[in-house]
Amino acid sequence: MEIEDPRPVPEPVHLQMPPPESGLRPASFVKPDLPLTDPAVLTSPTMVQVERLNLFYGQKQALFDVDLKVARNSVMSFIGPSGCGKSTLLRCLNRMNDLIDDVRVEGRILLGDTDLYAPGTDVIALRKRAGMVFQKSNPFPKSIFENVAYGLRIQGESDRNVLAASVERSLKSAGLWEEVKDRLKDSAQGLSGGQQQRLCIARALAVRPEVILMDEPCSALDPIATARVEELILELKREFTIVIVTHNMQQAARVSDHTAFFWMGKLIETGLTEKMFTNPGHRMTEDYITGRFG
Amino acid sequence: MRQFDQELRDLRDGILAMAGLAEHMIDLTIQAIVERSRTKADEVMALDRNLDEWELRLDRLCIDLLALRSPAAGDLRLIASSLKIVPELERIGDHCCNIARRATYVHPPILSTGSLERLGQETRGMVRMAVDAFIGSDAGLARTVIKADDSVDALYGHIYRELLRLMMSDPLTIERASHLILVIKNWERIADQATNIAEEVLFILEGRSAKHAYLHEDSVE
């Protein structure tokens, strides 16, 4: 029973809360910039564009209608189970598949404005623009200096000063300079596994590519060497566009801005890595990254 | 079943056990107030220790799962949200204690018939629905909980005004009304906790935050 009372009843305090005082804190406190995505990659122009790409090894089709864009100065990871086509696609990006017999490619891949598979494309020049780093480090049986200078020498560069400057710059970019600057004439074979892989990255950087393609670059490295390469990838992104194939989900999550998931030669889903690893749009992606696939 | 799946099941089961305990405490709290039962009030306060123990255990499990299993996607959302749901359930227990310890101070009744009990029952219903939404992965039910909070807030405001009127008209009611204001505030907070749980359920299921809907273009409404 409500008791009648002629006097006005004040509204409960909690229903009359004054608005929060404004101006007490700077705007940056009010709107924290929390998302992990590098905002630059959201507006970055396209560096690599794959359009309706189909690839056949003889009669067997390995890639099906792949459409994909890689933003300039970003890192994209290709993930997926073995045989899904991720390394095949990576090798298409500098026409490494040309080295395999009976490969047929349909569709288009643009590197900048260049159609990689257009008739008359200079494949050697193309591979200079898209350097490759492989799963197993493969230094030449030469000195550290000569390994890095090799690409420039075969391009015809012989000026000792130019070569020395390029080797130093590349080794610094690969985070190896301080470790090897006093033994550049030593054999590259004497370096540790992690150092050898960074040497291979330096060798790829020496010819100033636009894109660096990495095929499981850390799979043979210990966690410390892996961490160094991953830090290096994040630094190299400022100058280069990087595409990395990895079986290590956490590595894809740590280093890449975008992730593409492949299955049976098809691109199932691609998107911001942050989104792919917290809320993927496709059930198969979810199953794969949570280890429930198959 | 994979070891990790079993661990996630353990986490879910732990939250269900904790939620069941919280619901039991709510039932006892309602009875303690209605029946003016010191015994049931003491029982509520004794059960709070179990809830606290569950909180520590499930916190530990969540941290271990994050550290050892590197969860992603739906698994990550479940664990991250569990770290938020568990303290909500623990706070429900604290609010029940706050209400129960006033069980003997709010008699004889001064409120209109049933309004206090109704507040408790509506709040209890919200907690039940939030837990059911978690169990059944039911986004629709979670949204129902969020909407129901307005109803509990309205009932809280209504009782609050009624208590103000009572205190102004009869100073002898001031002591009981003061206790009752704290009682209804605690019920209203439990409803907020149920809402928070429902928001976490939506995050687990849909992968986007349902909190502070006014900040999103597409709100939960």
**A222, A225, A228, A230 alpha-carbon torsion, rounded to 10°:** -40
Record: contact A277-B76, CB cut-off 8 A: yes
Distance CA A114, CA A100 (A): 22
Q: Measure B161 CA to nearest chain A CA, in Å.
A: 7
Distance CA A152, CA A167 (A): 10
Comparing A100 with B133, the larger pLDDT belongs to: B133
Nearest CA to A247 among A289, A285, A286?
Answer: A289
Tell me if B211 sits within 8 A of B192, measured CB to CB.
no
pLDDT, mean over chain A: 87
Summarised one tens digit per residue, pLDDT across range B65-124 is: 999 999 999 999 999 999 999 999 999 999 999 999 999 888 888 887 688 999 999 999
pLDDT of residue B109: 82
pLDDT of residue A189: 92
Helix (H) or strand (E) segment spanning residue A288: helix A283-289
What's the Cα-to-Cα distance from A95 to each of A11, A53, A125, A267, B152, rounded to whole Å?
74, 13, 11, 19, 66
Record: contact B157-A290, CB cut-off 8 A: no
Summarised one tens digit per residue, pLDDT across range A140-177 is: 999 999 999 999 998 888 999 999 999 999 999 888 99
Given CB atoms, is A10 within the 8 Å cutoff of chain B? yes
Mutate to test the interface with A, among B113, B116, B165 (most CBs of A within 10 A): B165
Distance of CA A96 to the CA centre of its chain: 18
pLDDT of residue B220: 42
In this complex, which of A2, A278, A291 lies closest to B76 when CB atoms are compared? A278
pLDDT of residue B112: 73
In this complex, which of B2, B77, B169 lies closest to A5 when CB atoms are compared? B169
Q: Residue B221: is its pLDDT beyond 90?
A: no
Record: contact A277-B73, CB cut-off 8 A: yes
Q: Is the bond preceding B108 in cis, omega lying within 30 degrees of 0? A: yes
The interface pTM score, or ipTM, of the predicted complex is 0.79
